[in-house]
Structures are given as C-alpha cells and as structure tokens.
Amino acid sequence: MNEKIHIFDSSLRDGAQGSGISYSLEDKIKITKQLDHLGIDYIEAGNPGSNLKDREYFDVINKYPFKNATLVAFGSTRRKDTDVVKDKNVQDLLSANTKAISIFGKSWDFHVKNVIMTTLEENIKMIYDTIKYLKSQGREVIYDAEHFFDGFKSNSTYALETLKAAESAGADCLVLCDTNGGTLSDDVYDITKQLLLNLTCDLGIHCHNDIGVGVASSLMAVKAGARHVQGTFLGIGERTGNANLSTIIPNLQIKMGYKCIEDKMMSELTPSARYIAEVSNITLDHSMPYVGVNAFAHKGGMHIDGIIKEKSSFEHIDPVKVGNDRKFLMSEVSGKNMVINMINKIDSSITKNSTETKEIVEILKSLENQGYQFEGAEASFELVIRKHLGLYKPFFSLEYYKIIEEEAGRKDGCTASAMIKVMVNGKSEITAAEGNGPVNAIDKAIRKALGLFYGKLKDFHLSDYKVRVLDGTNTAAKVRVLIESTNGEDYWTTVGVSTNIIEASVNALVDSIEYKLTKDIETREK
C-alpha cells in the first residue's frame, strides 16, 4: 500500500489573506463541505481569537458530520510573560471546540528579538507551555514553526531547540513554514532531511510561492521525509499565494506514488477546484496545472497533430484522471484540426478537406480579426458552424432594441428601460421591460417576448459576465463580452464584440438563448 501523506488545507485561514478574497459564513461552510467530500485530512478554517465571524463559523460547522476531515482552529502561542491558562487567545482557541488546533511560534532568533521582543528562553517557554496545555485539554496539536528556514539559516541550533521544545511538549506534528516563501527547493530538502536525524515527531511542510517554487518545495520536503503538507486548494494566499494543493495532490499521488486522497476521488479534483473558485468569487487561472481550463489545451498545429496520433505526445497524463478535459484551441497556428473536431461533433461526414471546412476556417479567421475569440466561447463557435452548415433552425430574430437610461446619475434605484421587437416564425412581438441596467432590461424584454413562443427560457441564467477592452486607449475602444450561462447542470459560454458594450452584451445574450433553444430541441429529439 502506498504511504499516506496528510493534506492540510488552509484556504479558509491563510488563503483568506489573499488579495480580493472575502468569505462569508456561507462561503466558508460550502468550501469546508467540499474539501471534506474530496477527502482532505485537515481543514484549517479560522482564528477564533481574532475574528468574530470565525467563531460563528465554528459554532455552525461543529454540528456537521465530517466524513474525512479533522477541523482545525488556528492561533498563536501564549503571549510573552503570561500564564498560558490566562491567555485569552489560547482560551478562545479551545472554545472553538475543534478536535485539532494549530498554533504558530517563532523559530528565528532575529524575530524573537526584533518582532515579538522577548528573550530566546521565554520564546521556547511560550512554545512549550502552550502545546503542553493544549495537549492536556485533549487536543491534537499541530505546531507551525514560522519562518523556520530563515531561522535555521540564521541560527540552526536555536531553530532546532524550538522544535525540540514543541516535540517534548507533545506536539503531534511539527510543520516547517517557509513564511516569506524565499527558500529554494533544494534547501528545503536538505534542511528537512537534516531535521529528521534529530527529531522523532512527524514533520510537515508549509510553503509560499514567492519565488515560484511552492509546489516543488513541498514535494522535495516529502521526498526528504515530511508526511504532512499544508497549502491552499487553489494556491490563494497573501502576496504570491500558498503552495497549491490542487497541484500537489496529483503530483504526490500520480507522479510520486503516495496516497493523499482515495483514488476514486482523483477525478473530482477539477470539479472541486472550479466549485471552490466559484464560491471564492475568483477566476480560476486557466493555465493552472491539472485543473485549469487550458491545462490540457492544445493550440500548435504540430501538437494537435501529435495528440491525434498519440495522446502521450503532448500530454503528461490522461486529463480524465483528474476530471479535466482535452481541448483544442482555434488559432492561425493550429490550423484546421480543431475546427474539424468541432464540425464533426455536429456532422461527422465532413472531412478536413471538405469545402465547408475551408469556408468555416475563413469565417472564423475573419471573426477573429474583428476581435472575436472562440477559445472559451464554444457555444458561439458551435453556432457559427451550425449556421454555415445550414444546421441551425432560427428560433427568433431580434429586429431592434431601444434603451433609455433614466438619469441614473449618482442616486440609488436607477433603472433602464428597453423596448424590443422579435420575430418568431413570421410573427412579431414588440414588448418592453425595465431592469437594473440596460443589459438586464433587454434580457428581461427578450425573455418576455420569447416566452410567448417557447416555454423553457426561465430555466437558465447568467453565471458569469466578462468584459475585455480590445485596445484600451479610450472609451470608444472595441470590447469583447463573454457571457457564461447555466441551467444548473451545464455551462455554456458565448461571445459578442462591438465598440458598444451594450451591443456586444446583447449579441452574446442572443447567442446564449439561441444555443439553449438548439440544445433543448436536440435533447427532446434524442
């Protein structure tokens, strides 16, 4: 059996320090459940001492029947020159009622003197007292040795002494933290190796990505003998982020033969990453290893050709293993291969050398020159092809729209109103709607009009809306709008381009509705 590595996720604590991250109570609960479902061993979810919202979270989540994870509250060693029993922070930590507690302490002599401003001896006592006391209260204790690598380089004897104090106080795991993230991977390896000769307690690793090696250093620590890895699931965190667990887990499990989570859960890595990104309200980096939208996307013509001949040509693993997909990107370089791939989904009789293929390639090139981009907007891409092949049933046409923005000014409660005319099978319908902003007003008006002809339009809604200025020199620049829609099960993305943001949005919106109606018919016909 493969050796177990304990995975410790700190998205909700260290990750919450990341720029732009702000979790509500509900967000934290959703993410906790997802991490537990995936099989993460430890979920560090907050600092009950410093944050009221965190206390509320612990009260709620303690009632949740965890399947896998141990919940962890995070805090600091007792303050200097204080009795640990009277330390408010330590008491708050206990009051969170978690099975495990992680506490951080200082390893770097320089910091002891200049940041917390105490003696080297008192710092050792702070570590020892706190762990001893928490253990006497029956908790599992994970000791985070802050700035460990910097400390070890500055004064290895003292840094080791702090760990020995933690060990003798009964800590369950000693975690070496590269708090500033500036340590090279081979130094992490060498130092971890050296420590294992001097300690019997389990070692853990906690890396940041300041020099771009957070993942590699975590792996090197495991290679040296660490058996507990801390990070955040998407690599979010202060500055350049924490070590990315969605990369580390498949590396340890697929590439290095350790066991982190159940094998059958590996294919949930990508959906989990996308779900957590959604809840965190961040755009998942498309180029993120294993789980990113482009992690298995091929653009070079030669690469696509290679992939078609042999999957292993340009893929280090089968994307299915981690729940991701292979993708071919449209571009001048990739040539026709990916176009024919999409065409064949619609009509399998068309070949690479068919006239239709050449024509569609020309249409796509011309649209790309106008600023369209079909990477990530596959629904619009499919419509372009269907329309050219005559395999698109027109459901409606938007004859015109007129919008009036009412003195929105700087006051609240502003509205926009839209008047639209659609044609469906020769019948026209003119209607109007008010909305919060022009796109919303048009969306409502179109749905209202089409509702007379088609039923199911209420079943989907926008899940994302992105605007990209194509040449950012002034407000008259061309913009590209990407609209992602969902009916709760499927997601589809459409694109619109115009110098007018409203027009670009409407074009993407119309595509989204057309695509949905097309798919509904297909499903009914099956």
Residues numbered 480 to 519 that lie near a copy of itself (CB under 8 A) are 484, 498-503, 506-507, 509-510
Q: From CA 184, how far away is CA 467, in angstroms rounded?
A: 39
Indicate the residue among 455 and 472 with the shorter CB distance to a copy of itself.
Answer: 472
| Beta-strand runs (E) in 6-88 | 6-9, 42-44, 70-76
90 Cβ contact list (under 8 Å, min separation 6): 75, 78, 84, 130, 133, 134
* Contact present, 381 and 374 (Cβ < 8 Å): yes
Least spacing, CB of residue 290 vs a copy of itself, in Å: 8
Least spacing, CB of residue 200 vs a copy of itself, in Å: 26
For residue 265, give the DSSP letter: G
Least spacing, CB of residue 299 vs a copy of itself, in Å: 5
Give the closest residue to 403 by CA, choosing from 435, 426, 374: 435
Residue list 129-188, contact with a copy of itself (CB under 8 A): 150, 179-182, 184-186
Binding mask 36-75 for a copy of itself (x = CB under 8 A): --------------xx-x----------------------
Question: Which of 247, 280, 357, 431 is close enough to bind a copy of itself by CB under 8 A?
Answer: 247
**How do beta strands 397-405 and 416-424 pair?**
antiparallel
Binding mask 5-24 for a copy of itself (x = CB under 8 A): -----------xxxxx-x--
189 Cβ contact list (under 8 Å, min separation 6): 220, 221, 223, 224
Binding mask 209-228 for a copy of itself (x = CB under 8 A): xxxxx-xxx-xx--x-----
Residue list 76-115, contact with a copy of itself (CB under 8 A): 110-111, 114-115
Question: Which of 85, 430, 469, 521 is close enough to bind a copy of itself by CB under 8 A?
Answer: 469
Q: How far is CA 436 from CA 158, 410, 440, in A?
A: 62, 14, 6
Least spacing, CB of residue 272 vs a copy of itself, in Å: 17
Both tokens of 456, joined, read 């199911």
* Contact present, 140 and 100 (Cβ < 8 Å): yes
Q: Is residue 353 at the binding interface for a copy of itself, with CB under 8 A as the rule?
A: no
Q: From CA 443, how far away is CA 425, in angstroms rounded?
A: 20
Least spacing, CB of residue 303 vs a copy of itself, in Å: 7
Residue list 279-308, contact with a copy of itself (CB under 8 A): 281, 285-290, 292, 294-301, 303, 306
Q: What is the number of other CB atoms lying within 10 angstroms of the CB of residue 303?
A: 18
Least spacing, CB of residue 53 vs a copy of itself, in Å: 8
